Structure 1
Amino acid sequence: MQYGYFDDEAKEYVITRPDTPTSWSNYLGSTVYGAVITNNAGGYGFYKSGAQGRFMRLRFNAVPMDQPGRYFYLRDRDSGDFWSASWQPVGKPLDQYKSECRHGTAYTKITSEYSSIRSEALYYVPLGQNFEYWRLKVTNNDSKERKLSAFTYCELTNQWSTEQDQVNLQYSVFISKGEQRDNMLRFAIHDNLYKQFPNADFGEQGMHSWMALCEAPLTGFDTSREAFIGTYGNYEHPDAVKNGKCTNSLAYGDNICGSVETEITLKPGESKEILVMFGIGDAWVTGKPIVAEFGNLDRAEKELAKLKETWHARLGSFVANTPDEDINHTINVWGLYNCLITFAWSRAASLIYNGERDGLGYRDSVQDILGVAAAIPEEAEERLVRMLSGQVKCGGAIPVIKKDHNPGHEKTPEPGEFRSDDCLWFFNSVPAFIAETGKWDFLNKVVPYGDEGEATVYGHLKQALLFNLERMGADGLPCGLLADWNDCLKLGYKGQSLFVAFQLRLGLTTYADISTRLGEKAESEWALCERDKLDKAIQAKCWDGKWFIWAITESGQVYGTKTMEEGQ
């Protein structure tokens, strides 16, 4: 089944059928103001933390999937028929409703055609800003005048901590408030309570958000979810849209939503565009001046151009032209774009990951540097240093590097918390970074350990090798410890991992090469000697005559032999 295609000239992936097998998502914004949006406008937003700064709600693993989101509803005021600018949530029959989604570089545009009305919904976060644009352009392709009403909808969390919002309803459902003034809505949490609320150390931004309608008159609004949706309504046919009018509800101790309503009258062939802004911070203090500066279509278009220019420059760091189109798609746009997104978010937020880890997973983040060193070398170096400072003096690593990471003062993990592969990934990422940047002197940079002391990058590499060499199993192979790269594999702490053995072998080889280049002959000879010992153990214990095994458990069970029906 064909659902879309790559448009590499525009640097967009085009989804031509909205009923994709699963929701296909894109990322908007930055690691400060982040957003996930799907091809049907589902998704959510968060500030600094997917777990502790979630200001827009999504229900994970729900039915229907990826709802709620950032919705535009359109209603014909004459016929009463209504639909959404994205196929979902109304879900009109696809023989009547046409949809195209273009996921671009930190922006998404969804185009629809229904009942002779064409709409284009465009979503993005301007560079360096803590708000998002929702732009809706509506065109009348009918032969007669059309009178439409447009409604926005998004659902706000009742507490920015996801756990509090989803679980602690006896508390969170009673602390929200919605207000309206002119063309703006104000959403507040804890407005009447103490200001030093837990899990939201976000200064003046904390647990406040706003929505503004620009370039169109406000004819109605709702801030109460129950008022907009209806007690027994749903996103498919909310009461306000079905009835043709918002109720101007001011939520107080309710579930809150953001809905602004405007009326659009179009002559045949005529187009009109409205602009909606959604951001964080107090509406009257933070939002109002932002709307005054950014709340017009000319400025919104300039911000979009800046956004595209910045992202496209990153993607231009390397370009290939091969006979294989799929390789070209991957190398020139989508492989690197995915690497840049992964580097930025470190799997902290998605449609399937709630963000509760709230930090940089060690091995993941060290690996991420491999994909971006050429495109964003300064950021790659900064991340490398941060991860090196999460290595502790014994050579192992702190499993997750938190936002408040304090090198030199962190608690040393308990022995049972160490994973065997974490710091061995430096033997992939450090050489790759140096090869891309030519910064050979990076090896001499002094970086503190997480717990105490410091060393050059070269010294950190030596310590990574010693960590594994000092934790070898009964057969002379590295222990898997809490886990090797495969977290699902439980070998027992002293079980042995061939994956890590090969990593250690690469590390010793790389360290020997670096040492030779630095004139450290003794270090090079030491590394090669240790490699020889490891090679003998690998050949003696791990080759079964057809292929290599992949693990030996603490109890002696061998995995991956040619005799196993599964897991060979």
Structure 2
Amino acid sequence: MSTVQNQSTTQQNQLFQNEYGYFTENGREYVITNPRTPRPWSNIISNGDYSFMVSQAGGGASWRGNAGQNRITRLFQDVIKDSWGKFIYLRDRSSGKFWSAAWKPVMAEFEHYEVRHGIGYSVFTQQVDGIRSELTVFVAPDAPLEIMQLKITNNSGQTRELDATTYFEWAPGFAPDEHREFHKIFMNSEYREDLNAIQLEKYLWAFPDEKGRSNNVSWPYTAFHAASEQPSSYDADKESFVGMYGEESRPQAMQDQELAGHTGRFGDAAASLRVAVKLEPGASHTVVFTIGAAEHEKEDAAALIREYTSVEAAERTLARVHEFWSELIDTEEIQTPDPAMNIMTNVWLKYQSISCRLWGKTAYYQVSAGYGFRDQLQDSQIFLTNKPELMRKQILMHASQQFQEGDVLHWWFTIRGGGPRTRCSDDLLWLPFIMDSYLKETQDYQILDEITPFLDGGEATVYEHCKRAIEKSFLRFSPRGVPLMGEHDWNDGLSAIGYDWKGESFWVGEFLYMILGSFAPVAQRRGDQAFADKMIEVQGSLKQTLNEYGWDGEWYLQATTDDGLKVGSKENEEGQIFLNPQIWAVISGVADEERGQQAMASVSKHLLRDYGSLLLYPAYTKVRRDIGYITRYAPGLRENGGVYTHAATWAVWAYTLAGQPEKAYEAYSKICPPNRSDDPNGYVGEPYVTPGNSDGPISPNYGRGGWTWYTGSSQWLQRMATNWILGVRAEHEGLLVDPSIPSEWPEFSYRRNFRGATYLIHVDNAAGVSRGVKSITVDGKEIEGNILPDFQDGKKHEVKVIMG
């Protein structure tokens, strides 16, 4: 009876359950019960320096700094096989039967299998042949290493002699490791008996030295793999472990009583430690393994191994992991009638944005070695309600990637710097755009006086950096007064439209229009009236020009080509309407009421589909060399007529501004990942993080998600929920409350920090309306208007809002 009751209780707590898994009741874990997910369902775990990714099957890799220049363990991109990873084999020493602690690489038949992806950790629980294993993997919050905590329990009813054997391949430095036969010559491993560890050095890092001589510097780290107890044997050579012509699923090491003990410079660098475990019936034993990389002259590998490679240290560190992420996740919480919105807003979107986009910078579908100028600026908004000082740091970092002329690097490597000087028309403008949200949240005008360098010499205040970006954009106008496209705008795939600096981008015009409106008051505040007047003047002419030349009758054009042809027009056979110029005409205020409503009606008619707002319609089926590589994508994939989630989040924003809360919620719900849980084999992506895109209606895989985790959509989807649907957002005067919700919602609550105070907001919608605030009381006193007092007092304040 109790078993049935427990199952019933468990069932009630499983949210958005399907054949592969479910969310726990508080949304903080996604539990996978079937390892054969439609694609790897992964976790990207980082402390801002050291990172790894791990799939539900146990695949993945580790890196430090970034995964392109400073990989630690080896991986090649393969989302079908998912065959690379850091594995642990379990073996019955009597029978010789073996399996792996995660499903890969052995893929043994199991009695039970479960993976819990959590915030900063993943736990693999499995039972095979009466032996239960629980493998918990995580990154230390304040050290360059990961911990693999393995607890083995004997549920078989008889004494068992077992061993646990780790295995992975080293790949220190640049990745992917395509020239393995070259790179392995420079690696040197040794076994340290005093540390129960294998250490690795590499005498080559693919950087030039101080004189520009290539292949003339060493990898400046000591990598290590250690065990919490003395191994019975070890090996550091792939050939002896796997066996010539062998496979990781059936390696030679599982046939051999002990590992070969090979180290040195003449093998193929790998790492394996074997620990023997004898268990009486019902007994458990825990062993801890660590993997890490200590930087020469700054850190000591031996000290890190001793500090972290023990059962007690692992438990302490895991507790710190929970505290570390709570500081970043739990300063803001919503409670609405929509559990999908609650889960994503409270937990996963913040985690995805920070751990993957800003810190890890890599996931299964894309490996990045750097920061995108516009990308991580946008992502950094996720810090506004928890640690705005981290957004401040990001802004200063990006300002220093600008040239004196005002243009910037499109992206740059995070190790040693360097990147392409962009001819893209929107990159440079994201600095003043993001400054607006930062100043509204913090009122930290001192940031504008911070001095940061230019890439080509000299330095200036952050205000001057923003000003030069805007002034540079003023030099990029067509004779008609429309901003030029350049190499492309936000849509990278429009890579041939304006390469000769003749094609126009109406979206850039809208984007610039909005920036001029927000930055002119900043200039006025600083006494730079001449520049403020210039911005107001350009803004006025822009509005007129964009409406004169950009309006196509029912919607706005996306662009014109270098040859003057329209893009995103009813006159086009394909690519007749683009999403961005419609929604940003509303967001920016370029469109008047009538045209704004018409543009959004066109979005609803042509672009808002089953799985979100398409980026354009209809998809290109013919290559257009005068438009760009967007036309070379398969029709319906990614930017070519798919739902590009980043832009689809902005449609939510536009619908709220257009006074269409029900449409805003529809556009939001269609791209909120848990809502795709009912068709996991059609969607294929993880239900707990945003995808970069979903296939459009012309694709045979309509609705299929792709490029999950490493996408700029995560921060924006979080912001859409809080700022525009719940309608609680920072303004210079204080915190504005302007809900735009489904009329059937009876209430919602929202706790968030703002300028040092905590606001406990409860919104009552007994009136059953979608918009409109009837009254607001703060700490029992009714206030005028809907902007909350700016307390800045470090205290909690109760806010009661009555809609009507």
Please give the TM-score of this superposition, normalised by the length of structure 1.
Answer: 0.88
**What is the CA-CA distance between 1:10 and the residue it aligns to?**
7.1
How far off its partner does 1:439 sit? 1.1
Q: Provide, for residues 395-434 of structure 1, a one-character-per-residue CA deviation record: whole Å limited to 9, x for no partner.
A: 211223444779xxx99x87xx421101211243112112
Query: What is residue 344 of structure 1 aligned with on the other side?
Result: 358
Give the CA deviation at 1:168.
5.8
Using the TM superposition, give the Cα deviation of residue 261 of structure 1 relative to its aligned residue in structure 2, in angstroms: 1.0
1:130 aligned to which of 123, 132, 144: 144
- Give the match for residue 56 of structure 2: 39
Alignment of 1:147-546 (within 5 A): 147-157=161-171, 159-162=172-175, 165-167=177-179, 169=181, 171-182=182-193, 183-190=196-203, 205-206=220-221, 208-214=222-228, 216-281=229-294, 286-345=300-359, 347=361, 349-355=362-368, 358-403=369-414, 417-490=422-495, 491-493=497-499, 494=501, 495-518=503-526, 522-546=530-554
Q: Deviations over 1:289-328 (max 9, x none)?
A: 3333333211211111112101111112211111111111
Give unmatched runs, 5+ long, in structure 1: none
- Alpha-carbon distance, 1:477 to partner: 1.3
Q: Is the 8 A contact 1:339 1:372 kept in 2?
A: no
Preserved contact between residue 356 and residue 363 of structure 2 (Cα < 8 Å): no
Distance 1:516 1:190 in 2: 56
Kept in 1: contact 2:225–2:271 (CA 8 A): yes
Mapped contact 1:60–1:352 kept (Cα < 8 A):
yes
For 2:130, the equivalent position in structure 1 comes to 116
- CA displacement 1:11-63 (0-9 Å, x = unmatched): 22222221122222223343432222222221112233322322210012376
**In the alignment, residue 45 of structure 1 is paired with which amino acid?**
S
Over the matched positions of the two proteins, sequence identity in percent amounts to 29
Does the CA-based 8 Å contact 2:436-2:519 persist in structure 1? Answer: no
1:77-116 pair list within 5 angstroms: 77-93=93-109, 96-116=110-130
> Please, what TM-score do these two structures have when normalized by structure 2?
0.64
Report Cα offsets for 1:454-489 as digits up to 9, x if no partner.
443333333222212211124321111122111111
Please say if residues 145 and 293 of structure 2, whose CA atoms lie closer than 8 Å, have aligned partners that are also in contact: yes
Count residues with an aligned counterpart.
546
Which residue identity is paired with 2:243?
G
Contact 2:148 2:290 in 1 (8 A): yes
Kindly indicate whether residue 557 of structure 2 is the aligned counterpart of residue 549 of structure 1: yes
* Change in CA separation of 1:124 and 1:248 when aligned onto 2, cut-off 3 Å: same
Native 8 Å contact 1:75 1:244 kept in 2: no
* Contact 2:65–2:414 (8 Å) recurs in 1: no
Partner of 1:53: 70
Q: CA deviation at 1:272?
A: 0.8
Cα RMSD (Å): 2.8
Deviation at 1:75, TM superposition (A): 1.3
Distance verdict in 2 for CA 1:139–1:376, change over 3 Å: same
CA distance in 1, matches of 2:504, 2:318: 52
Letter in 1 for 2:511: Q
SS at match of 2:431: helix
Q: Who is 2:39 aligned against?
A: 22
Q: Post-superposition shift, 1:213?
A: 1.6
What amino acid is aligned across from residue 561 of structure 2 in structure 1?
T
Instruction: Output the CA distance in 2 between the equivalents of 1:535 and 1:88.
Output: 58
Change (3 A) 1:324 1:267: same
Letter in 2 for 1:325: P
Q: Distance in 2 between matches of 1:375 and 1:405?
A: 30
Evaluate the alpha carbon distance shift between residue 395 and residue 126 of structure 1 in structure 2; reply closer, same or farther with a 3 A threshold.
Answer: same
Residue 136 (structure 1) shift = 0.5
361-370 vs 394-403, which moves further? 394-403
Q: Distance in 2 between matches of 1:80 and 1:184?
A: 25
Comparing 435-444 with 81-90, greater Cα deviation is found at 435-444
Q: Tell me if structure 1 keeps the 8 A contact 2:235–2:271.
A: yes
User: Does the 8 A contact of 1:346 with 1:360 survive in 2?
Assistant: no
C-alpha deviations, 1:267-299, integer Å up to 9, x for none?
22211111112222499x933333333332112
**What's the offset of the Cα at 1:563?**
4.1
Give the C-alpha shift of residue 4 in structure 1. 2.5
Cα drift, residue 376 of structure 1: 2.1
Specify whether residues 5 and 334 from structure 1 end up closer, same or farther in structure 2 by C-alpha distance, changes over 3 A only: same
Q: What is the rounded CA distance, in whole Å, between the counterparts of 2:202 and 2:403 in structure 1?
A: 40
